[in-house]
Amino acid sequence: MIRLEPRSQSSRWLSLMAPVLAALFAMLLAAIPLLAAGQNPFIAYGLIVKGAFGNLFALTETLTRATPLILTGLAAAVAFRAKLWNIGLEGQLYLGAVGAVVVGTGAIDAPPAVLIPLVLIAGAAAGALAMIGPAWLKTRFQTDEVVTTLLLNFIILLLVQMLLEGMLKDPMALGWPQSEPIVDEALLPAVISPRYRLHMGLYLAMAASVLVFFIMRYTTFGFALRAVGENPAAARHAGISITGATLGAAALSGALAGLAGVSEVAGLKGYLTADMSPGFGYAGIVVAMLAGLSPLGVVLAAVFVAAVFVGADFMSRALSVSNYLADLMVALALLCVLIGGFLRRFKVSWISASNTAKGANT
């Protein structure tokens, strides 16, 4: 029979390799739908790698796609560390984008050095507000935040559609529901060269990752947040305010997701539409899990998930396979990394039935 032994401590090597192996295994599993669609998986994999990393343009596209994923991944990692199930990243991202549009479309006339920080703050604040609500309901009324944040995604998306047909509508957009363009002074500048879409949002996201790493590891707030996530009873005993830590985690998490919205609207698109995010909020959960909730790992995991999306897009155009394959691969990666976490904690061994009987006698 199969026997599971808890590992006393999982080795560092294993902790680092488990997500990589899980991601590779997920790619292997994706061969099943590829074969079902009548494609040669090896050719498809080759095209995915080429489409994601094949040349400078492909690489910049992958990093452009990774930018919001780093931020939503960080948002999920911070919340999950505090055992706060923030599944509302998609809504917080959109509300952050709304914040950027409100401040950045001409309401304030200022040079970039002033306006860009203002736009970032507005978006972060809007995202934080969107998460503080459900967190407050959790601490005050024990309302399950999974359901409230999930439902808020739908509510916020409808709110954005409403704003884009009303208050935020661009009168020059010929009836399309989109916001006025972000003014030049508020746009995040391009990096490398304006010929590529890659923008300063990437550096912002990487800086956020380092900042979150330091907050989590070296500040009392970070300590309180982790303590509440790992053992709330002990944390309370140590005099940590659970409500405070939970609301703080919610604010930080929502702010990071809000920044993802700012980065997309002020760095990439230039104006807001209701279909701006192809599920960056949900993919952020996968990024955080692949990274083992490590803030620095989030950057690598985001690049991986972005590469799957960008590469699969390229592959699907070349082979005319549905690009939902990318979503399928990302979902498989999440489930594989979950199982990987299990194998990291337990040693699976096969022992014969006679051994079990002997063991039972002693």
Partner 1 sequence: MEFFDILLSENFWAATLRIATPLIFGTLGALICERAGVLNLGIEGIFTVGAMAGWMAVWMGSGLWGGVLVAMLVGALFGALHAFLTVPLGLSQHVSGLGVTMLATSGAYFFYRTALPDVSSPPRITPFQPLDIPVLSELPFVGPALFQQTAMTYLAIALVIVVGWVLARTPLGLAIRAVGDNPDAVDSQGLSVYALRSGAVIVGSAIMAMGGAFLTLSAFNAFFFGMAGGRGWVCIALTVFASWQPRKALLGALLFGAFDAYQVRLQTEVGAFLPAQFFLMLPYILSIVALVVAARGADYPRALLQPWFKGQR
**Dist CA 120 CA 239 (whole Å):** 34
> Binding segment for partner 1 among 57-65, 104-112, 202-210, 329-337 (CB under 8 A)?
329-337
Binding residue for partner 1 (CB under 8 A) from 282, 304, 309, 314? 282
| Site membership for partner 1, residue 8 (CB under 8 A) | no
DSSP 5-27: EE-SS--HHHHHHHHHHHHHHHH
Question: Which stretch of DSSP H or E encloses residue 287?
Answer: helix 280-290
Name 273's Cβ contacts closer than 8 Å, sequence gap at least 6: 164, 176, 177, 178, 179
CB of 360 to partner 1, least distance (A): 11
Binding residue for partner 1 (CB under 8 A) from 58, 152, 183, 307? 152
Residue pair 153/119 in contact by the 8 Å Cβ criterion = no
**Dist CA 121 CA 233 (whole Å):** 34
| Separate counts of helices (H) and strands (E) for the chain | 15, 2
| Site membership for partner 1, residue 162 (CB under 8 A) | yes
| Site membership for partner 1, residue 110 (CB under 8 A) | no
Largest CA distance in the chain: 83
> Binding segment for partner 1 among 63-71, 115-123, 147-155, 238-246 (CB under 8 A)?
147-155
* Gyration radius of the chain's alpha carbons: 22
Residue 205's nearest CA partner among 265, 144, 256 is: 256
Residue pair 92/131 in contact by the 8 Å Cβ criterion = yes
Residue 76's nearest CA partner among 298, 307, 331, 259 is: 298
Residues 166-195 that bind partner 1 (CB under 8 A): 166
Residues 66-85 that bind partner 1 (CB under 8 A): 85
Binding residue for partner 1 (CB under 8 A) from 150, 191, 211, 215? 150
| Site membership for partner 1, residue 362 (CB under 8 A) | no
Helix 324-345 and helix 280-290, axial crossing angle in degrees, nearest 10: 30
> Binding segment for partner 1 among 12-20, 46-54, 181-189, 338-346 (CB under 8 A)?
338-346
**Dist CA 42 CA 94 (whole Å):** 37
The SS3 call for residue 36 is helix
For partner 1, the closer of residues 151 and 215 by Cβ is: 151
| Site membership for partner 1, residue 154 (CB under 8 A) | yes
CB of 295 to partner 1, least distance (A): 18
For partner 1, the closer of residues 75 and 186 by Cβ is: 75
Name 26's Cβ contacts closer than 8 Å, sequence gap at least 6: 329, 332, 333, 335, 336, 337
| Site membership for partner 1, residue 87 (CB under 8 A) | yes
CB of 4 to partner 1, least distance (A): 8
| Site membership for partner 1, residue 37 (CB under 8 A) | yes
| Site membership for partner 1, residue 325 (CB under 8 A) | yes
| Site membership for partner 1, residue 232 (CB under 8 A) | no
| Site membership for partner 1, residue 142 (CB under 8 A) | yes
Chain residues in the site for partner 1 (CB under 8 A): 4, 33, 36-37, 85, 87, 137, 141-144, 146-148, 150-155, 158-159, 161-162, 165-166, 282, 285-286, 289, 320-322, 324-325, 327-328, 330-332, 334-335, 338-339, 341-342
